[in-house]
Amino acid sequence: MRERFKVRGGLCVAALQLCAFLCAPAATAQEWTTSLVDIHQGSPLSDRARGLGNGGYELQSGSWVSFNRWYHASWVDMHVDLLTQITPETGILWGLGTGEQGEKYSIAPSLKLGFLTQAHLNPNSSLSLSVASIIGGSLTEKPCVADYGDLGTYSVNCRLAAGETAPEETLKYLVNARPETMHLWLNYRLTF
Amino acid sequence: MSVNSLKFGLAAALAILSAPIVSAQEALSPDEMAALCHGGGSICVSATTPVARTTQAVQSWMSLDVGAAWAAGYKGKGVTITIVDDFSSTSRFSGNFGIGVQTQRHGEWTREEASMIAPSATIRSKDFSTGSAVPLAAGRNVLNLSYGMYTTAGYSVNQIGWAPEEASIISYATRGSAVVSKAAGNDAVAVGGVTGGQQDYLDLALIGKSTAIFVGALSTNGTTANKAQLAWYSDYAGSNPLVQSHFLVVGVEGDKTGLYGTSFAAPIISGYAAIIGSKFTKATPVQITNDLFNTARTDTLANYDPSIYGKGEASLSRALAPVAIK
pLDDT tens for each residue of B166-188: 999 999 999 999 999 999 999 99
Predicted pLDDT of residue A124: 87
- pLDDT reading at B34 higher than 70: no
pLDDT confidence tier of residue B75, bands split at 50, 70 and 90:
low
> CB contact, 8 Å: A164 with chain B?
yes
Do residues B271 and B287 make contact, with C-beta atoms less than 8 angstroms apart?
Answer: no
- The mean pLDDT of chain A is 83
Amino acid at residue number B32: E
- pLDDT reading at B201 higher than 60: yes
Higher-pLDDT residue of A105, B77: A105
Strand order of the β-sheet with A78-87 is A33-41, A78-87, A90-97, A110-122, A125-136, A182-190
pLDDT confidence tier of residue A169, bands split at 50, 70 and 90:
confident
Please compute Rg for chain A using Cα positions: 22
Cα B103–chain centre separation? 20
pLDDT tens for each residue of B204-222: 999 999 999 999 999 999 9
The phi and psi torsions of B124 (rounded to 5 degrees) equal: -115, 150
Instruction: Kindly state the helix (H) or strand (E) to which residue B84 belongs, with its residue range.
Output: strand B79-85
| Contact: A163, B322; criterion CB under 8 Å | no
- pLDDT reading at B229 higher than 90: yes
Instruction: Kindly state the helix (H) or strand (E) to which residue A51 belongs, with its residue range.
Output: helix A44-52
Poorest-confidence range of A16-30, B42-56, B151-165, B214-228? B42-56
End-to-end CA distance of chain B, in Å?
62
pLDDT confidence tier of residue B11, bands split at 50, 70 and 90:
very low
The full set of domain ranges for chain B reads 3-320
- The mean pLDDT of chain B is 82
Poorest-confidence range of A2-11, B16-25, B209-218? A2-11
| Contact: A58, B318; criterion CB under 8 Å | yes
Rounded distance, CA A152 to CA B295, Å?
15
DSSP B29: P
B70: nearest CB among A57, A60, A164: A164
Please compute Rg for chain B using Cα positions: 18
| Contact: A57, B321; criterion CB under 8 Å | yes
A180, β-bridge pairs: none
The closest of B321, B45, B80, B250 to B178, measured between CA atoms, is B80
- pLDDT reading at A26 higher than 60: no
Instruction: Classify strands B102-104 and B93-95 as parallel, antiparallel or unpaired.
Output: antiparallel
| Contact: A62, B283; criterion CB under 8 Å | no
* Mean pLDDT computed over A159-164: 88
Count H helices and E strands in chain B, helices first: 13, 13
End-to-end CA distance of chain A, in Å?
37
B297: which chain A residues are within 8 Å (Cβ-Cβ)? 62
> CB contact, 8 Å: B298 with chain A?
no
Topology annotation, domain B3-320 = Rossmann fold (3.40.50)
Rounded distance, CA B46 to CA B108, Å?
8
pLDDT tens for each residue of B269-296: 999 999 999 889 899 999 999 999 999 9
Interface test with B, best of A58, A59, A60 (most B CBs within 10 A): A60
Give buried/exposed letters for B277-304 (b at 16+ CB in 10 A, else e): bbbbbebbbebbbbbbbebbbeebbeee
A57: which chain B residues are within 8 Å (Cβ-Cβ)? 317, 321
ipTM above 0.85, yes or no: no
The full set of domain ranges for chain A reads 9-187
Predicted pLDDT of residue B300: 95
